[in-house]
């Protein structure tokens, strides 16, 4: 597929055939070589066929093949004339990351580091079929979680009100309707609040290894040598079921609305259609469940730290830096051609990256911009970046969400056969607590791109700028 370079770190496929807009890729030449190894470029071009798409079909430097949309794909659709596509959100609705900081110095932890990792594993239920640290939710409580998101968890003693100020959308999307969920989705979600997913989900203890932007790092509370915790999880079985239900319902809707699809996985319906409204109401509810889920787990991690290290939240300097969603569709206003336009922004494996001065950036960060969290793999660094004006102008305020897979899980298991991944990581200074050796093989560092290369591509294109590097010390996997 022919790509033309249109700027530093920016490539474009011009509209051809049924493409309504170009497909624009944010990547370095090195990352492009990996991207060409799967069907993600084709998928980005397929997205450009969809009705009501605005500007371009966009893809981030961590892009790889997904269901319908590429993972790392971003697309905005006119709120009046556009479509909504579950493939543009993904199965794990509001899979996202939450970064916590402390005043603890990693150099002073000693043997407490391993104890802390294993205490987190004991206190945070994880993996397929795991049940939450709280009892199965009643019908009434589940309805409140689906409507109120992270605020429900805070009301029930999991965290503090200040946590909501540092959560995207304050941890709750308006317009959620619990009645839009199927009985099966509710049954899958009721026992899973406060659980860490399997696969690429994790809770990771880290150290602030290097600071690149002292002003932004100071605003975020990131001090060289200090301990942080990064949490990655989503809406669990509830979100998966919402996506599955919507895909089944929308195929007939797409035919009825005569939406031509270059790929059946891109099934979509008008935003204003009954199917579109129902999906959005259910997707918002699942997103709220995910924010409540991460809020509960943050409180469980805090309790684990207090058990091992003593003190209090205040003496540990424990607080939330930020929480961002990865898989979500949100109604936003963006400037296009000098005019404000209301659009439904699909971010699938992509994160919001709003700049300094934006009213949705927390007040404490408004002079520097929104934290953009880019997790790495188990053996290599994660990064904190910051959103930019260029992202608002070009990518609807979006950036990369992580390292991006290089191998399928099956290929990673083959590559890891006969290896002791936990011992290899221990030799690199990373304590690992995992319930399954298979998970460690699937998630080994070689299965992913290097997050440092992804961040370099973000920097080159100007859509996010690096603030700090976080080196892993210990990781809990589901």
End-to-end CA distance of the chain: 38
C-beta of residue 399 within 8 angstroms of C-beta of residue 347: no
Residues 6+ apart with CB under 8 A from 293: 192, 193, 194, 195, 233, 234, 235, 236
The closest alpha carbon to 31, from 469, 462, 470, 458, belongs to: 458
R_g of the chain, CA atoms, integer Å: 21
- Written as six digits, the tokens of 311 are 């003190």
Length of the chain, please? 478
Q: What angle do CA 266, 271, 277 make, to 5 degrees?
A: 105
Q: Angle formed by the axes of helices 236-256 and 274-309, to 10°?
A: 170
Task: Report the candidate in 147, 145, 126, 230 with the shortest Cα–Cα distance to residue 189.
Answer: 145
Instruction: Assess contact for 475 and 432: CB atoms under 8 A.
Output: yes
Single out the catalytic residue among 166, 326, 334, 401: 401
Nearby residues of 57 by Cβ (< 8 Å), 6 or more positions away? 19, 21, 22, 23, 24, 44, 45, 47, 48, 73, 75
Active site residue 401: yes
Two tokens at 386?
Answer: 């910051």
List active site positions: 401
């Amino acid at each position: 597929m022919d790509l033309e370079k249109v700027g530093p770190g920016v490539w474009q496929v011009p509209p051809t055939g049924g493409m309504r807009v170009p497909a624009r890729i944010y990547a370095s030449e090195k990352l492009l070589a990996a991207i060409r190894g799967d069907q993600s470029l084709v998928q980005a071009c397929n997205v450009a066929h969809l009705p009501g798409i605005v500007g371009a079909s966009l893809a981030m430097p961590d892009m790889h093949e997904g269901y319908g949309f590429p993972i790392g794909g971003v697309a905005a659709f006119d709120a009046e004339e556009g479509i909504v596509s579950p493939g543009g959100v993904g199965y794990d609705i509001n899979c996202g990351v939450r970064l916590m900081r402390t005043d603890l110095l990693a150099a002073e932890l000693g043997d407490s580091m391993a104890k802390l990792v294993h205490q987190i594993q004991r206190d945070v239920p994880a993996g397929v079929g795991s049940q939450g640290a709280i009892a199965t939710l009643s019908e009434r409580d589940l309805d409140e979680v689906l409507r109120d998101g992270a605020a429900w968890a805070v009301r029930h003693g999991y965290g503090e009100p200040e946590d909501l100020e540092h959560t995207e959308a304050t941890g709750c999307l308006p317009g959620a309707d619990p009645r839009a969920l199927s009985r099966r989705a509710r049954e899958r979600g009721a026992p899973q609040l406060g659980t860490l997913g399997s696969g690429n989900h994790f809770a990771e203890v880290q150290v602030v290894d290097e600071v690149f932007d002292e002003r932004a790092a100071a605003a975020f509370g990131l001090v060289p040598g200090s301990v942080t915790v990064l949490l990655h999880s989503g809406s669990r079985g509830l979100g998966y079921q919402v996506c599955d239900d919507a895909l089944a319902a929308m195929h007939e809707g797409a035919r009825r609305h005569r939406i031509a699809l270059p790929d059946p996985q891109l099934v979509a319906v008008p935003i204003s259609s009954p199917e579109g409204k129902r999906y959005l109401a259910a997707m918002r509810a699942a997103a709220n469940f995910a924010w409540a889920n991460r809020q509960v787990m943050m409180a469980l991690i805090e309790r684990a730290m207090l058990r091992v290290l003593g003190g209090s939240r205040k003496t540990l300097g424990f607080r939330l830096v930020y929480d961002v969603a990865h898989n979500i569709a949100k109604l936003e206003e963006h400037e296009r051609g000098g005019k404000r336009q209301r659009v439904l922004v699909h971010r699938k494996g992509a994160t919001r990256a709003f700049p300094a001065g934006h009213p949705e950036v927390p007040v404490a960060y408004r002079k520097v911009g929104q934290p953009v969290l880019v997790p790495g793999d188990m053996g290599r660094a994660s990064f904190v970046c910051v959103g930019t004006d260029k992202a608002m102008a070009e990518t609807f305020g979006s950036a990369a969400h992580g390292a991006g897979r290089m191998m399928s899980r099956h290929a990673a298991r083959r590559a890891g056969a006969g290896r002791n991944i936990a011992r290899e990581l221990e030799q690199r200074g990373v304590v690992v607590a995992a319930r399954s050796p298979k998970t460690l093989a699937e998630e080994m560092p070689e299965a992913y791109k290097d997050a440092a290369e992804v961040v370099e591509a973000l920097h080159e294109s100007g859509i996010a700028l690096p603030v700090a590097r976080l080196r892993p010390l210990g990781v809990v996997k589901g």
